Structure 1
Amino acid sequence: MKIGTQDQAFFPRDIKEKFLFLKEAGFEGFEIDGKLLVDHLDEVKEAIAKTGLPVTTACGGYTGWIGDFNEERRLNGLAEIKKILEALQEVGGKGIVVPAAWGMFTHRLPPMVSPRSQEGDRKAITESLLYLETIAKETGTTIFLEPLNRYQDHMINTLADARSFIDENQLRYVKIIADFYHMNIEEDDISEALHMNQDLVRHVHLADNHRFQPGSGSLDFKRHFNQLKEDGYDGFLTIECRVRGNDPQAEYMKALHYLRQSLG
């Protein structure tokens, strides 16, 4: 398993300098914002060639959710995701992280009654995934379907929820991304959920139980990494977290060291 990272505010803003910084820091891959990739494709290609640091995946960078309540936004989002997948193909990226939605509605906060039925939710997500399946096939990429916790989304909260869409529609180019932070809230046992879905988990996001940097909270990363090893997972572990501390960069490097120790 290799350790990658999303962007952070304390990374260099210049793309080539950013890639060089990550390479020298010891990261083995970069999960890029989709819009940044599309808008600066040539610069990203040059940065990859200069440093040898791969773009592993894209996350974000589109404006409509695959389960959006608004049909125009949903279709716009799909069009933008298509462009991101085409750009990922050009740089050798594996795929894009896609939740059903984020921050659109939750049953845990008022008004607590969704403006759309559960059947309507499933229809929107299914139509989106069937479309993206064709684009992923054409581009040789993967859609990483991400369950989010109940406070950020109401449609797909567990690995089993994500699996149901893949199995019911016999999707080959849609897999599951397991996010330790969301799993800490939604799964009875992170390791068990990873094991039960080992055939579909193809990407992993890392944050501690409180969403801050790994090693600063209570999650047992070593146990969960051992489960991934036992199940033969050989993909990326990508840090996606907030960072707290007086020196965020130093704290982030400390988290990277902690993760390497936990991997053994």
Structure 2
Amino acid sequence: MKIGTQNQAFFPEDIKEKFRYLQEAGFDGFEIDGKLLVDHLDEVKEAMAETGVPVTTACGGYNGWIGDFIEERRENGLAEMRQILEALQQVGGKGIVVPAAWGMFTYRLPPMQSPRSQAGDRKAVTKSLLYLDKAAEETGTTIFLEPLNRYQDHMINTLADARSYIEENQLKNVKIIADFYHMNIEEDEISEALHENRDLIGHIHLADNHRYQPGSGSIDFKKHFDRLKQDGYEGFLTIECRVRGNDPEAEYKRALAFLKESLR
């Protein structure tokens, strides 16, 4: 297993300098914003060639969710996701991370009455995934379907929820991304859920129980990494977290060292 990262505020803004920074810091890959990749594709290619740091996946960079309440916005989002998949194909990226939605609605906070039925939710998400499954096949990429916690999304909250869409629709190019932070809220036990869905887990996001940097909270990363090893997971572990502390850059590098030690 290798460790990747999303962008952080203290990373250099210049793309080539950003990739040099990742190389020097010891990251194995970069999960890039999809719009940044599409808009600066040639520069990203040059940065990858110079540093050897690969673009592993894309996350974000599109406007519209696969389960969006607004049909026009859902369709626009899908078109942008396809563009991102085409750009990923050019740089050898694995695929794109997509939740059903983020921050659109939750049953856990007012008004607690969704503007669409659960059957309507499932119809919209299914329609989107069928489209993206085909787009991923055509570009040689993968859709990483991400369950979010109940306070951020109302449609797909557990790995089992994501699995049901894949199995019911016989999706060949859709896998599950397991996010430790969301799993800490939604799953009965992280290692058990990882094991039960080992055949469909294709990507992993890392943050501690409070969404801050790994090693600063209560999640037993070594235990879960050992489970992944036993189950033969060979994909990326990508840090997706906020950072707190007097020196965020130093704290982030400390988190990377903590994760590498936990992998031993």
1:168 maps to which residue? 168
TM-score, normalised by the number of residues in structure 1:
1.00
2:156 maps to which residue? 156
2:203 maps to which residue? 203
How big is the shift at 1:54?
A: 0.2
2:262 maps to which residue? 262
Map 1:8-47 → 2, pairs under 5 A: 8-47=8-47
- 1:110 and 1:146 map into 2 onto residues whose CA distance is 24
Task: After superposition, give the CA deviation of every residue in 1:51-71 in whole Å (9 maximum; x if it has no partner).
Answer: 010000000000000000000
2:227 maps to which residue? 227
Map 1:1-264 → 2, pairs under 5 A: 1-264=1-264
- 1:30 and 1:250 map into 2 onto residues whose CA distance is 19
- 1:118 and 1:168 map into 2 onto residues whose CA distance is 16
3-state secondary structure, aligned to 2:38: helix
- 1:97 and 1:38 map into 2 onto residues whose CA distance is 15
- 1:228 and 1:20 map into 2 onto residues whose CA distance is 30
3-state secondary structure, aligned to 1:217: coil
- 1:17 and 1:24 map into 2 onto residues whose CA distance is 10
- 1:97 and 1:134 map into 2 onto residues whose CA distance is 16
How big is the shift at 1:112?
A: 0.2
How big is the shift at 1:182?
A: 0.1
- 2:258 and 2:55 map into 1 onto residues whose CA distance is 23
How big is the shift at 1:10?
A: 0.1
Coordinate RMSD, CA, aligned: 0.3
- 2:115 and 2:123 map into 1 onto residues whose CA distance is 14
Task: After superposition, give the CA deviation of every residue in 1:134-185 in whole Å (9 maximum; x if it has no partner).
Answer: 1000000000000000000000000000000000000010000000000000
Matched AA of 2:121: D
Task: After superposition, give the CA deviation of every residue in 1:171-211 in whole Å (9 maximum; x if it has no partner).
Answer: 01000000000000000000000000000001000000000
Matched AA of 1:40: H
How big is the shift at 1:120?
A: 0.2
How big is the shift at 1:235?
A: 0.2
3-state secondary structure, aligned to 1:129: helix
Matched AA of 1:45: K
- 2:258 and 2:54 map into 1 onto residues whose CA distance is 22
How big is the shift at 1:114?
A: 0.5
Identity %: 81
- 2:226 and 2:245 map into 1 onto residues whose CA distance is 28
Gap runs ≥5 in structure 1:
none
- 1:136 and 1:23 map into 2 onto residues whose CA distance is 29
3-state secondary structure, aligned to 2:172: coil
Matched AA of 1:232: G
- 2:131 and 2:101 map into 1 onto residues whose CA distance is 17
How big is the shift at 1:240?
A: 0.1
- 2:70 and 2:138 map into 1 onto residues whose CA distance is 27
After TM superposition, which residue ranges in structure 1, 4 or more long, deviate above 4 angstroms? none
- 2:61 and 2:30 map into 1 onto residues whose CA distance is 15
3-state secondary structure, aligned to 2:21: helix
